[in-house]
Structure 1
Amino acid sequence: MNRITLDAARVIIHDTMAYGREKGMKPLSVVVVDSGGHVQAFERADGAPPGRFEIARGKAYGSVMLGIGGTAQRDRAEVQAYFVAAAGAAYDGKLVPVPGGILVRNDAGDVIGAVGVTGDTSENDLAAGTAGIHAVGLIADG
């Protein structure tokens, strides 16, 4: 697969949210972006704050634009805060460099998009998004 189809994006979102409910997480919001950072699909669970779209998008957008998942972005911010600040400025403040931003790779290892999950702890967001990505047979790189 060289891109995330709309059907795959919908399954990723559905299974990410189902994982969150199963694990008793707070209401999640999930966005799927293509390899250019453009939103392909988004859903916000009942009870999730309305501002979660921007956070979910920032997690996914930062991952695909920098080519590293949210966990690696957070780690880099801890040792090179100036780089993450500069990248954030270069991308008009659209980066949210924390776990829950997950690169989506195909079997060849190519980045074909990203998923951003927000609503619970960053680590739980990452786990939920990873489950959604795996549900469509793709590789999660968070």
Structure 2
Amino acid sequence: MTLDQANQIIQAALARAREAGYKPMAVAVLDDAGQLKAFQREDGASMFRFDVARAKAWGAVGMGASSRVLAERAKGNPNFFVSLAATAEGKFLAQPGAVLIVDAAGALLGAVGASGGSGDEDEEICTAGVRAAGLSTG
């Protein structure tokens, strides 16, 4: 994934949040190794937004599934997911609000996570950002 693509994802995600009238958001894009590619936090978004957005995306790229899927899996195996979060030193959060980023050939490029609204709102803006960049959520 290029830096330009990561920035396109963020800009489109934040534009969608503004169109929908959501609270101030933060959006983090990670590459396929879980490294931060780009991040923005809107004015008025709380200080925790970076950590939450990154942790949602980090879990998604690390486990190869959206954070919504991971939240559902965690219901059936809570001890594993609590242990995973501890092992990851707080970089893993299994809550809705992050989606995978996949290219046209199906290759995993990374993940994008958002924080600031409900899990549904966060996921919605991430999906909008990925699609606006001409990519897929998998």
TM-score when normalising by structure 2: 0.96
2:124 is equivalent to residue 124 of structure 1? no
Task: Point out 4+ residue stretches in structure 1 off by more than 3 angstroms.
Answer: none
The residue matched to 1:16 in structure 2 has which SS? helix
SS in 1 for 2:137: strand
Correspondence for 1:23: 20
Q: Secondary structure at the match of 2:65?
A: coil
Aligned position for 1:139: 136
Per-residue deviation, 1:99: 1.1
Amino acid in the other structure paired with 2:131? H
Number of aligned residue pairs: 138
Separation of aligned partners in 1, 2:112 and 2:125: 10
Task: Give deviations 1:63-92, integer Å, cap 9, x for gaps.
Answer: 111111100110011111122112212212
Aligned equivalents of 2:86 and 2:54: distance in 1? 16
Q: In the alignment, which residue of structure 2 is the partner of 1:48?
A: 45
User: Matches of residues 1-142 of structure 1 in structure 2 within 5 Å?
Assistant: 4-141=1-138
Deviations 1:114-140 (A, max 9, x none): 001010000010001100000011111
TM-score (norm 1): 0.93
Q: In the TM superposition, what whole-angstrom CA distance separates every residue of 1:38-76 from its partner, at most 9, and x where no partner exists?
A: 001000001101221100110110111111110011001
Aligned amino acid, residue 10 of structure 1: N
For structure 2, the 5+ residue unaligned runs are none
User: CA offset at residue 9 of structure 1?
Assistant: 0.7
